[in-house]
Structures are given as C-alpha cells and as structure tokens.
Amino acid sequence: MPVAIQPAGNEVGRKHYLDTVENLVSLEHYREFLGHDAEDLFAISDQGKLALWGVTPGTNGVNISKYQKLEPGDTVLFTRKGYVYSSGTITHLFHNKNFALALWNQDNKGQTWEYMYALDAIQSHEIPYQILRDAIGSDEGDNFMGFRVLDGDKSDAVLEILNRKNTSYPRVTERGPQDPPRIGERFKNRHAIWKAYGGQKYQGAAVFPGENFLNIFSDADGPYPDFINDETGVIEYRGQGLVGKQVLTRGNKLLEDARLARSPVRFWYKPTKGQWTFNNWVVVTDRTTVTESDTKDNKTSRFIWFLVPVESENSAEWNTDILSAPILDLPIDEPELTSNYEMLLENYSKLSRKFKEEAVGTITSSKPLRRYKRSREARDLVIARSKFKCEYTKCTGMPPDVDSQGKPILQVDHIKPLSEGGSDSPNNMIAICPNCHVAKTIGKNKTKIAKEFIQIVSEKELAMTKK
C-alpha cells in the first residue's frame, strides 16, 4: 500500500484542510455535484459527512499518473512548517471536477483539485521532516513541497514510523493503552476499534499507539478467509498484500518480528456479517509460502503464518510446550508449498510414507518439528487423495457452491481426534463435505460412521501406497 505525501502548508492548503478535512463535508449540501459516486460516498460517510481532499492535474498532467497509483486503504501524510502534522486513510478515489470547483474553486493557474479522495482515520502527528527524510532517504533540503506517492520500500519505512510507540499522537482516544481490550470483547466495526485505540485503521496487522503488542485482524468476509483448526485452535493466517508477491515488509515484518521474539499477539476475528471480537492471545510459531491467486486472479506467492493460542499475554502462564519449542531459523525466501493436487496425487505413496515415518504426533508434541506446517501439508495431501469429492461412500451429495478459491467445499477431519492420541497424518484423516462432518461430529450413529471412515481410508491408503 503506497503512502502519499500531501503538502498543505500554504494559505490555500491550510484553508482547504480546515474546510474539508478538519471540518467534514456535508454530502447532502453538494448532492447535485456528486454524480455516479453519490452512492459510494454516502455509504462510507459518517452520517452523511466525509473528509475530502483533492489533487490538481499539475503542469502537463504530472500529478495524474501519481494519483492513479493510489488505492483505498493507502495512507496520506499532510505536511507543513517542518512537520508531518496529520495522516489519514483513503477510503474512496474519484474524479469529479464540478464537485472540486464547488468545494475549492480554482488555483492561480486555473486548475482545480479534481482528482479527489475521501479520507478516514484522521490522526494528528508531530513528526519532524528530518525523521521522514531519514526514513525515505531524501536529501537534507527536501521540504516536501509537491504531491508525491512513495514506492513500496519508502512507504514501508513511513508506515513503520507511524507504528512507533514514541510517535506523538495528540488526538485523545476513547480508551487507549490504560484500558486495553478484554478477551471476548466485541466492537461493531474497525472504526469503533480505531476510536478506542487509534493507530492504523484498515491494516490487517497493527500496533496501537502507546503499546508494544501486535494486533492481527482476521475477517471471514475478506477475500482470503483464514483457516482456524477447530480441534487445536491453531490459525493459518494469510500475510499482508492482496496483489502480487508478498514480502517481509510492513505487516509481514511485524509478524516476523513477533515470531522471532515469541511475543504475545492479539488475535481479532470477525465472523461472516458479525462484529469484531478480541478472540484470544496467540504466538506466531512458523510461516510458510504458498502459491495461490491474488485479488487480480494472478498466481503469486503468499505467506501463511501459523498462530498458536496461549493463555494470556503473560508468558509465565503459557504451556511449557510453547515455551520450550525452538524459535525456527527460517529463510526469507522459502521453497513454496505445492498446491498442484495432480502432482501430490502422483507422489502420494512417497509423501504419505514420509508422514508415517515422521510420526508427526499430536499438537502437544515437544519435538522441534514444524508440525503446524506439516499439518497443512497433510491436509493438502488428503484433499488430493479425495479428488475434490467427499470420501464418505454414503455421502448424499456435495454442497452446490464452491469456496473463495473456486474449489469444492470440503473439510479434512481427523478420524481419531488429536486430543485422544490420533496422528496428524493422512492415514488418520478424511476429506468430507459439511453434511458428513456434522454427521460424524454430532450424529446418532457417529461411532459407526467413524469406524466406516477408518475402513474407507485404510483401503484407499493401501491401494494408493502400492502404486
């Protein structure tokens, strides 16, 4: 997510900031100018009011290409008199010359600020230019006079500044670090969390001002719902970055730092059409890389982070298995897990045998094995074995829909639960549809069904490992 630097220090800039950022714009007052963006603007507004800013085309349209690099969720820094004095998060971008004229008229070159964006999460700062210069590597004389959009590395450096504990945040939050969220506490939306604690409003990984704890947000309605293991509570959390290859910067760097320090992390979860809840504390134990489609449907590399629940933020209360487990020394560019199910199927005999030899065991094993990553690999292998069909021979029918990746809806269950000593390997796992999962879990004949599962998987394993 790029960061834009927006000067607003001259007389015109200060007036515009006062008129349309500090004092929110009433959309109803300008309804005749809103055009086809009216519905979107009202939808993201706070009772019909919004903070708005805009950029002129510039000489020979120089600002247009910069503006086109921006997307909702990007951060804008406002600068004047030697300081970054505020920041905001872009919620909508739109081109509307008539609306801009109605709001701000024209500059002395006859241009108006027609390349517009709406802002939210306005935060006050007092960050000296020198701090900003050092972060992005600009010259000593750089006074940030023109509109600019920073590239990825420079944007990451700026966002790191905003996450620092010692950054000045004059805006008073409703609660702040003196009244932290409690496990199980619910908030209507991310805006309510931001009002209570400040910080970055839309990022999936963020540190609240005045704290050291990382917060991780998992949205079941998001483009990449995270996998939560019902048996163990272990979370497979997708890294930050919706488009292109993910790298260890920004939110992913915060996760990596938490992993290396074995720091407690707050895990927030929002179920489908539900509210945000501080679910529990977790530690980041491992990561892996997978290939899957991004939001533009291009195959790319993405991180999966393995989050393991702990009792509290106090490590003295943690399970000894967590405390004694080694902190893994992982390469930055790790070989990717294959999602090629045909290839997994071709090598099924070899891979299945490897799981048996490793004896992955239960989730509470103290062996320094990457058991969470191996658990995911075992699950993928079972899906390949199923050929995307429920493996229960008495299944009455698969769901009529597919998941977010366009694959049939299946879940992989352990036939003998891990808590009862079952192994985390394909010979104790079965891919079943949601209906068969419910029957196996709470059905009247669940004991009989479990025995049938064992027979089905044993026969499949025997047949496939002979190949």
Domains of the chain are 3-162 (3.10.590.10), 174-337 (2.30.280.10), 338-467 (no CATH)
**pLDDT value for 448:** 94
Distance CA 306, CA 322 (A): 13
Cα angle 181, 73, 71; round to 5: 175
Q: Look up tokens 């750089």; give the residue.
A: 142
**Left if phi > 0, otherwise alpha if psi is -120 to 50, otherwise beta: which for 122?**
beta
Q: Name the CA radius of gyration of the chain, rounded.
A: 26
0.75 exceeded by pTM: no
Q: What pLDDT was estimated at residue 9?
A: 87
Helix axes 434-442, 446-465, angle to 10 degrees: 130
Distances (CA, A) of 181 to 11, 41, 89, 266, 277: 41, 31, 23, 9, 9
Largest CA distance in the chain: 82
pLDDT beneath 50, residues of the chain: 169-171, 360-368
| H-run or E-run covering 265 | strand 265-270
4: enclosing H helix or E strand = strand 3-7
Q: Do residues 3 and 76 lie in contact, with contact meaning Cβ atoms separated by under 8 Å? A: yes
Written as six digits, the tokens of 317 are: 């209360």
290: left (phi over 0), alpha (psi -120 to 50) or beta: beta
With residues binned 3-state (H G I as helix, E B as strand, rest as coil), the percentages for the chain, rounded to 5, are 35, 25, 40
Instruction: Give the C-alpha separation, 102 to 143, whole Å.
Output: 30
Residue that is written with structure tokens 């100018």 in the block: 33
pLDDT on residue 366? 42
User: What's the pLDDT tens digit per position in 426-465?
Assistant: 889 999 999 999 998 899 999 999 999 999 999 998 888 7
User: 69-119: per-residue pLDDT in tens?
Assistant: 999 989 999 999 888 999 999 999 999 999 999 999 999 999 999 999 999
pLDDT of residue 363: 41
**What integer pLDDT is reported at residue 376 of this predicted model?**
84
Which pLDDT does position 362 carry in this prediction?
A: 42
Tell the burial category of 353 from Cβ atoms under 10 Å away from its Cβ (0-12, 13-18, 19+): middle
- Report DSSP state, residue 249: S
pLDDT of residue 360: 43
Tokens 């086809």 belong to 36
